[in-house]
Amino acid sequence: MKNPSLTCTRCQKEFPIERVHPRCSSCNEPLEVSYSRLQPSPGRHGEWFGLREGTLLERYQEFFPFVSIHREISLGEGDTALLRSSVAAGELGMEKLFFKNETQNPTWSFKDRGTVSGIEHAISLGMGKIGTVSTGNMAVSVAAYGARAKLETYVLVPSGLPKEKIGPIAIYQPHLIMVEGDYGELYFKSLEIGEKQGICFINSDVPFRVEGSKTIAFEICQQMGFHPPDYVVVPVSAGGNLRGILKGFEEFHQAQLIDRIPKMIVSQANGCCPIVASFEKGRESVERVLNPRTIAHAIENPFPPSGNQVLRKLKENGGTAVRVRDEEIIEAQAIMAREGIFGQPAAAVPLGAVKKLLAEGYLKSTDSVVCIVTGGGLKYTAALEYHSFNVRKVGIERIEEVIRLTDGE
Ligand SMILES: Cc1ncc(COP(=O)(O)O)c(C=O)c1O
Ligand SMILES: [Zn+2]
C-alpha cells in the first residue's frame, strides 16, 4: 500500500504525509493515513503471503507507507498471545471468549506498537526529536523507544505526578518536563510546539500511532485463522487504539484476507465516559466530563481528542458503547487474574463490559468475543488495595499441617 497521504477523518480534506501537525486545519478533527492505491493483495481469504518473521513493522510492511524500516529501533513489540478464556468464559457461560494479552509488550502495554510506528515515521521525515504528553503507559513507551532509537525525547507530564509514576519514565532518561497548567490544553499546545521546533509529538491519537494499533487487528486475524471474532472490546480513552484496531480489520477486509469486519465495543469507566454518554444520547460529538473519577486512571480522559471520530466510526461499524463501574472493573481484574492474566484496571474494563452486555442480552453466549488487555497490572499496584486476599501466616513447624488443611479448599 503506497501513495499515502493524510486525510481528515471528518471533512476528508487531504494533506501531505510529511505534515507534522496531526489535525485538520479546517475542522480541527484528527487526520489519518490513507492510501490512494492498494498494492497487490498479500494473500487471499484465509491465506497470508506476507512475512512471518522479522519485526512488527517488517511483518506488515505492505500495510505501512515506510520506504525502509529501521529494524534496530524495535524492542520486540507485538506478537502477543491471544488466549482462549476458561475461567471467565466458564463464569459467564460463554463458549468463545478470548484475551489479547498486550501486557507482553516491551513496556507492558499496547502503546509500544504505535510508538515504534510513530518513530519510524519521524525518522522517515528526518526528524531527530520526538515527544509525547502522557501520565502513564505512553510516556514510558516513548521514553523507552526514544532511548533505543537514540533520539532527543521530550516527555511532558502534569506537575504533581506522583514519584512512583515519574521513576518508570525517568529511568530511560528522556527530557522529562513537568508542566503546570491545564493538562487537556497541553495536548494541543505540544502539537503547536512540535510543528515550530521540529519535534514529532507521538500523542495518543496521532495518525502514525493509530497505524501501529492496526497490528492488533492483523494479529487477531492470523491467530484466529482469518475468521475474525464477532466482537472486539476495547477500553477507550483518547480513541486512538480503537480507531487503529478497526482500521486494521478494514484494511485486511479490503485486501480480501477476511470476509467480514467485527463489531467494535467501546468500553469506558462509569466515572469518566464521555464517548459512551454521547453514544447513549445519540449525539454526534463528545462533551467534556467535568469531574472525572475512576480507578482506571489510564483511561481517564475527560475530553478525548478522537472522541467524535470514534462516534462516527461506531455508527458506521454497528457496534456499541458501554460503561462499567469501578467495582465491576475490580471484579473483572480479579477474574482475569484467576486465569493467569494480570491487567491494570483499565485493561479489565472490557471484561466488565462483556459481563454487562451478556446480562442485557446484547451479547449471546455463542458469540465470539476478544477483549483487549491493554496494559499490565504492575503499572498500578495501588489497585491491589481494593481486592481481598487470603494470606496465611504460620510458624515453620506448622507448615505441613496447614498445607494439608488447605487441600481441596
Ligand atoms: C492501559 C490502557 N488502556 C487503554 C488506553 C486507551 O487508549 P486510547 O487513549 O488510544 O483510547 C490507554 C491509554 O492510555 C491505556 O494506557
Ligand atoms: Zn477537516
Closest CA to 339 of 108, 97, 109, 106: 97
Neighbours of 370 (CB within 10 A): 30
- Of all ligands present, the nearest one to the C-alpha of 299 is 1
Neighbours of 1 (CB within 10 A): 19
Average pLDDT over residues 134-162: 95
User: What was the pLDDT predicted at 160?
Assistant: 82
Q: Which three cell numbers stand for residue 349?
A: 474494563
The span from the CA of 202 to the CA of 355, in Å, is: 34
- Of 60-64, 106-110, 239-243, which gets the smallest average pLDDT? 60-64
Ligand 1 atom nearest the C-alpha of 238 is 9
Position 47 pLDDT exceeds 80: no
Average pLDDT over residues 74-91: 98
Query: What is the residue-averaged pLDDT of the chain?
Result: 95
Average pLDDT over residues 46-61: 84
The span from the CA of 150 to the CA of 142, in Å, is: 12
User: What was the pLDDT predicted at 135?
Assistant: 85
Q: Which three cell numbers stand for residue 166?
A: 515519574
Task: List residues bridging with 34 in a β-sheet.
Answer: 5
pLDDT band per the 50, 70, 90 thresholds, residue 71: very high
pLDDT band per the 50, 70, 90 thresholds, residue 2: low
User: What was the pLDDT predicted at 107?
Assistant: 98
Position 93 pLDDT exceeds 80: yes
pLDDT band per the 50, 70, 90 thresholds, residue 321: very high
- Of 94-108, 348-362, 387-401, which gets the smallest average pLDDT? 387-401
Closest CA to 220 of 369, 53, 51, 351: 369
- Which of 110, 134, 344 best tests ligand 1's pocket when mutated (most atoms within 8 Å of CB)? 110
Residue 32 alpha carbon to ligand 2 centre in Å: 11
Between 126 and 40, residue with greater pLDDT: 126
Place of cell 482475569: 336
User: What was the pLDDT predicted at 405?
Assistant: 87
Q: SS3 of 5, please?
A: strand
The span from the CA of 227 to the CA of 405, in Å, is: 47
Average pLDDT over residues 158-176: 92
- Of all ligands present, the nearest one to the C-alpha of 242 is 1
Structural element, H or E, at residue 131: strand 129-133
Q: Which three cell numbers stand for residue 6?
A: 493524510
Average pLDDT over residues 216-242: 97
Q: Which three cell numbers stand for residue 195?
A: 510543528
Between 39 and 208, residue with greater pLDDT: 208
Average pLDDT over residues 362-380: 97
Position 138 pLDDT exceeds 90: yes
pLDDT band per the 50, 70, 90 thresholds, residue 361: very high
User: What was the pLDDT predicted at 61?
Assistant: 93
Position 377 pLDDT exceeds 80: yes
In angstroms, the Cα distances linking 64 to 32, 69, 270 are 12, 10, 36
pLDDT band per the 50, 70, 90 thresholds, residue 38: low
CB-based contact 173:135 (threshold 8 Å) = no
Neighbours of 224 (CB within 10 A): 17
Residue 240 alpha carbon to ligand 1 centre in Å: 8
Neighbours of 171 (CB within 10 A): 12
Q: SS3 of 35, please?
A: strand
Ligand 1 atom nearest the C-alpha of 301 is 9
User: What was the pLDDT predicted at 34?
Assistant: 96
Cβ 244 under 6 angstroms from ligand 1: no
Residue 62 — φ and ψ, nearest 5°? -65, -25
Neighbours of 259 (CB within 10 A): 11
Cβ 236 under 6 angstroms from ligand 1: yes
Q: Which three cell numbers stand for residue 37?
A: 492505491
Cβ 239 under 6 angstroms from ligand 1: yes
Average pLDDT over residues 378-405: 93
User: What was the pLDDT predicted at 370?
Assistant: 99
Position 165 pLDDT exceeds 70: yes
- Of 60-69, 211-220, 314-323, which gets the smallest average pLDDT? 60-69
Cβ 241 under 6 angstroms from ligand 1: yes
Q: What is the pTM of this model?
A: 0.97
Residue 298 alpha carbon to ligand 2 centre in Å: 28
Cβ 375 under 6 angstroms from ligand 1: yes
Position 43 pLDDT exceeds 90: no
